[in-house]
Chains A and B, each alone.
Chain A
Amino acid sequence: MSDEINVTVNGVPHVARKGQLVIEAAADAGEYIPRFCYHERMSSVGKCRMCLVECDTGRGPAVTVSCMATVAPDMKIDTQSPTVKRMQEGVLELLLANHPLDCPVCDKGGECPLQDQAFSHGPGESRFVEEKRHFEKPIPISDLVFLDRERCILCDRCTRFADEVAGDPLIHFTSRGNSTHIATFPDEPFASYFSGNTVQICPVGALTAKPYRFKARPWDLQQEESTCTTCSVGCRVVVQSSRDEVLRYMGVDSEPVNHGWLCDRGRFSFEATKSAERVLQPLVREGDALAPAAWNVALAEAARLIGEAKAAAGAGSIAVLGGARGTNEDAFAWARLAHEVIGTTNVYAQMGDGLPVGLLGLDRATIDDAANAATVVLLSPDIKEELPVLYLRLRAAAEQRRTKIIELTPKRTGMTPYAWRHVGYQPGTQVAAVDGLLADADVAAQLATGPVVVVAGRANLAESTATTVQALRRLLDAVPGATVLPAFRRGNVVGALQVGMRPGKGGLDTRGTLQAAADGKIECLVLVGSDPLADFPDHSLATRALAGARRIIAVDTFLSASAAKADVVLAASAFAEKAGTHTNLEGRVTSLARKVTPAGVNRADWMIAAELALELGSDLGYGTVEDITADIAAKVDGYAAATPAAIAADSDGVLTAVPGAIDPMNHVEAVIGERNAYDFRLVVSRVLYDQAEGTAHSPSLAHLARGSAVHLHPLDLDRVTSTAGARVKVSTASASVVFTAVADDSVLRGTAWVPFNQPGPNVGELIDCFAAVTDVRIENV
């Protein structure tokens, strides 16, 4: 049966879809109906009345709220009749009765729907002479967002977003009638990971974000569309700048990826780009200190160190770690430099905190596949913390009853309230958990109802990947046809791995490299935007490795803990300072834009690779970024469609094919010992705000990191200490660290959870990356 419906819009025939809202049908026909409350990614509420039109379904024209009414056969929609015009004027006059006329000092002035529509549809003057309503303003409703209640027109966009999209209804209409206003509960701020979106969708200047307040006027901003590289979801953004300074990101509505939403970490971490702590020029070690050097001096020194290492112990004594921070072009140039010019096979983009690269060789699902699957199995970390916008997509799928979510995690997560089945497992028992799950008749029936997508990632850094891989294998064997969405976390790690930042034949991965370095077998360690001291879970091994590597070359934007130990630091340009492409976790290649001049004399990683290759006597043959993009399309398996022209032509980017070059994961046996009843099994995972460079160097975000603490189930906490907030000693056989103890009922009994890379005591000291699991003794001190 056809779902086409014939209507006329302002007398012009138009074919609408059955069930389509009048406001959407009119937009398709080229008639923009003014609106404030309607947002295409949220449910209609008909609050603002700005979208009133006249619709005639045969009984004469009737005033209709076009965001609430659906099209009907032969409906005559009139968006411009004298009645409509008068109603629009009336609505605007009423809205402006209480709205302050402070546009000259309002951040929204110039891009304000109320301002624009008052101009285009308003009566021109007001009859209102009384006092407007007054509120204290602006009030902070969270660490990042300020609310001006006088400007608010009560459109319900921010509150609807908080409730429907983010699932954090911490702001709500309060009071009634003329005193209605938006409020948080006293002392419970709007601490949503997605609060910045409310600022973007606010149709007036009522909500403003701390990093952008009073920084620019919209007409002074220039913008380029780009991709957020904070995590591997790859949300589309526009980068807006003024006077060569990045001032704001706005989410772009990309149908297959982010639907216009961003997480706050992604939205506000641009502040790091203009941080005063950036490395602004190459540095070369002179004795104990790093001294500024010219590019030719630093590159020559780096080439000399590589040459020396090669002469001393062969190319196998050189290792290149990193590449996940940059663009595909950066990674490809560095991969070629490492594999072809230097000749080493010890290359890896992951920092021991992901899953084996073989995950990328499995049948891959897209984000859309997952959000439309009958069942999604999460064998992954807390995606709300690590891949926030993927969380929004899957949460929406579960809330709209399209998808049932089965979650297997070592602790309860942000997704647990939306999961159909939640299975908490003790680290190391994933396989048993999967077996138990598959034995459940309800689950088996659910898995058989339709497409199944497995979101696979590293849920616990204090545990080897073997059991997770085994559990994933078991799941894929039991559910033929299931596809996998790899929950790799780091910005462009998928792109880096695919274009070649992975070990060659016989090469070492990161763990192997660091072990070799600690054993004194690495002559030269090259860190391409990687910081093993902060990111490698086993802190002790990372420390010994950086001490044991004879020479270290770091390519970085900041002088990270690891870069500070380098002999040569090559100053790299950051996000928004370089163009290129990015591959997200589903293999989608999108463009990255250069919006501002690189800080200092910094260069893009690919330029550094090309220059270094020249110093080493080889020419990679690249003059521009497009050269490399084209070369990737020509040479990298699965990237044939990702040509510069194709990527530029589509804002949503190009989906790459599953590469045949990456072997699917092998079966690895893990031996897990029995847990001593007195010990706790350690779970270490990331939360959204940590000490990552982009967060720590963004003033608005830096203080949001929650701090290091050991979280125990309340009943377990009672076993260990009488008081929450007490200091406890957490020990393994070889190390012990003192943490604050916190009661947390999302933690399973018998396990202890510590967030990774937080200010305070370093949990990495307890992790042994060669152990299958980490059991710890916790004692009161």
Chain B
Amino acid sequence: MTAEIDTTATPSAAKGPIDRAAGMGRRWLRLRGTLGVLVTQLVVLAAFLAFWEYATGQNKAAAFMFGSPSAISKFLSQMAYDGSLWRDTYVTGLETLLGFFVGNCIGTLIGLSLWYSRFVSRVVEPFVIALGSIPIIALAPIIIIWFGTGLISKVAMSTLSVVIVALVTSYKGATGVDPDQINLLRTLGASKFQIFRKLVVPASLTDIFAGLKLTVGFALIGAIVGEFMSSSEGLGHAIFKAGSLYIIPKVFAALVATIALALILTFAVGKIEQLLMPWRRQLR
């Protein structure tokens, strides 16, 4: 019976040279596509910076109000030289990472385990919605009273910004599992824990990672808001201090560092996602 199987599908190892050449052609086309996008993005950015530089160069008041790319880069190199750029980025990065990690761990754990009991999840639901609707900044004064003005209070702010989103996305993932798939595992004799571990958790990974990507930004916002309230270092502190002294280009310089931090963290999450979900990579 094996001889009758569809001959159209052969294992990829058996592909001929023509297929391989076609594959390379496709890869080149795809590369050219992404290259085109990248070049266009750079052109748009350069045009924006050039306009900014030109407009603020004409007018002293505008230069004071809006800074200019050249002034920003001057501050950036100065901050890099005196080490404050690295120090502030490190501090905010650490707060963000810790808050991101703790918040996602707690949120995902609770969100997934709510799958276990329909009763508990129904009891908890209004409380989650209520907690989720609190603007985190409103909690900042209490957080500082409870946790002081050091690292812990910023991590707490960051954690709080993340935890509800992580809970909701992971719960959504867990309850979105195809009931037929659950039935299949039941007919194979799986216990509730086996269904949880072998089906619900891996099936929720897609939603969990969507939540992770979303919460990178939230964790950073939490850390920066915490630094705004009271701090002696960090990018939020640098932004706040430069702002109060009306040094606008320095505000932008710290903002550039913040954006870079956010991009690096988002990129890292994407890489981890690819590592943990290899079956999604094969789709492309």
A pairs with B:
no
Query: Which A residues have a C-beta under 8 Å from some C-beta of B?
Result: none
Query: Which B residues have a C-beta under 8 Å from some C-beta of A?
Result: none
